[in-house]
Chains A and B, each alone.
Chain A
Amino acid sequence: MSTLGELERAVMDALWDADGSLSAYDVQHTLEADGRTLAATTLLTVLSRLEKKGFVASDRSSRPHRYTAVASRADHVAELMHSVLGDAGDRTAVLERFVGGVSAEDAAVLRRLLGGAG
């Protein structure tokens, strides 16, 4: 069940729930409390991947290194939703939505179809 993607999400959840920064050791403990045992090397790999993706920042001046989430979960959700709902130009090239906004006239056209059927 533990794909890399799921591990990354679990680690991010631990960092988002934490107040301030965590050491890798703290993260490992948090995950263990959730019933997920993780080797230290795996955890460090996941943390460095998350750092490379821009989700995590690390303070390497302290021993042990401390890790923080770059932005809150809500900020990332907002970024995601903006790229789905926002600026039309970029969006149409990046992803294909089922339907955007339906104008009042178009909605009336569709309701007439449904009214006729019902």
Chain B
Amino acid sequence: MIGPLTSVDHALADPGMSGALVIPHAVVIAAAVVFGIVAVALAWPVPVALSRATWPMRAPVMALLLWQVIGLAGGLSMIGALALAGYAALPQHPWLAPIPAALFTVYLLTHLAITVVQVTRLRHRHLALLEMLTSPHPTRARTRVLDDAVPVAYCLPRGARSVTVLSQGLLDRLDADELVAVIAHERAHVEQRHDLLLLAFRAWRSALPWFPIAARAEVEVAALVEMLADDHARREVHDEVLARAILQVGASGVPGADQPVSGSMRVSDRFRRLAG
């Protein structure tokens, strides 16, 4: 017990070791460069490679996890690179050096807050319209029926008060099993809180619109989340039933139905994995 104590005393007594922890300037510069390289890698080549990979359709959970890691680590490494660059550029001004990093952090958090407020407001308005225009489903809780011929099913995520909406056109077209598939799919979105993931990546995109990868990440995450919800449905119905339901709703050709989603390989992967 005495040995380490004396050596600490000795270290403190040594004038060269006293005072604040001083990191050599060259180390700060090197660390700033390393963080910068990591930030650039996570902003461009890494997500591009992931969005071109074919394995995510077989392991969507892992891919979603990776996208979250890329987003989070990318943001933190950008902040870290800015902070270190600040200290490298202004070693004599410890109060000024962290300002760029702090500003960037505030910028990201502001975009997150704006996105949350916008989405919450749109959901609020949508819910008011639903209450006015739809009727509660006779047997299913938290489910409302929209009297419209276009076959649509969706959920409005609001935590424990989430609402699932089924149109009359959908109820008319689908048989009982297909309806089970649709409802299981929507319930997975609600239970697994996919809305939080989509919100985070939407905020990421609105904060960094000049990074093409932020848009790509949002599309990828949206497609992967659909695969997770499909997997939930596939535990309750056969793949053929889910495929039939998708065709009935998505390829119905009813006027007013959405334009085909194009441009993303991952969206097509959702269908290919059912057939494969």
Contacts and interface: CB of A to CB of B under 8 A. Distances in A.
Contact of B156 (A5, A95, A99): A95
B222 A110 contact: no
A41 B232 CA distance: 48
B244 interface: yes
B154 A5 contact: no
B200 to A, nearest CB: 10
Nearest to A73: B133
B244 A94 contact: no
Contact of B250 (A81, A83, A102): A102
Interface string A21-38: 000000000000000000
Given A94-B122, A102-B250, A81 B260 contact: no
A92 B118 CA distance: 13
A88 B264 CA distance: 14
A114 B202 contact: no
B261 A103 contact: yes
Interface string A101-118: 111111101111110010
A9 B182 contact: no
Contacts of B10: none
A99 B261 CA distance: 10
| Most chain A CB atoms below 10 A, which of B182, B185, B225, B247 | B247
Given A95-B157, A96-B189, A97-B152, A110 B247 contact: yes
Given A8-B132, A90-B122, A104-B260, A97 B146 contact: no
A80 B146 contact: yes
Interface string B105-142: 00000000001001100110010111111000000000
B240 interface: yes
A100 interface: yes
A97 B268 contact: no
Interface size class, chain A: 35 or more
Given A95-B155, A96-B154, A111-B247, A53 B275 contact: no
A54 B129 CA distance: 10
Contacts of B225: 96
The A contact surface, by secondary structure, is helix
Nearest to A54: B128
| Most chain B CB atoms below 10 A, which of A88, A112, A114 | A114
Contact of A102 (B132, B186, B229, B247): B247
A94 B132 contact: no
Contact of B148 (A81, A111, A114): A81
B153 interface: yes
| Most chain B CB atoms below 10 A, which of A9, A96, A105 | A96
Given A98-B153, A117-B240, A77 B128 contact: no
A94 B119 contact: yes
Contacts of B271: 102, 106, 109-110
A17 interface: no
Contacts of A5: 131
| Most chain B CB atoms below 10 A, which of A76, A85, A94, A98 | A98
Contacts of B154: 84, 95-98
A12 interface: yes
Interface of B: 115, 118-119, 122-123, 126, 128-133, 146, 148, 150, 152-157, 165, 182, 185-186, 189, 194-195, 198-199, 202, 218, 222, 225-226, 229, 239-240, 243-247, 249-251, 256-262, 267-268, 271-272, 274-275
Given A76-B129, A101-B258, 15 more contacts: A53-B128, A55-B132, A81-B256, A83-B122, A84-B154, A85-B257, A88-B261, A93-B115, A93-B202, A94-B119, A96-B189, A96-B195, A98-B153, A102-B261, A107-B251
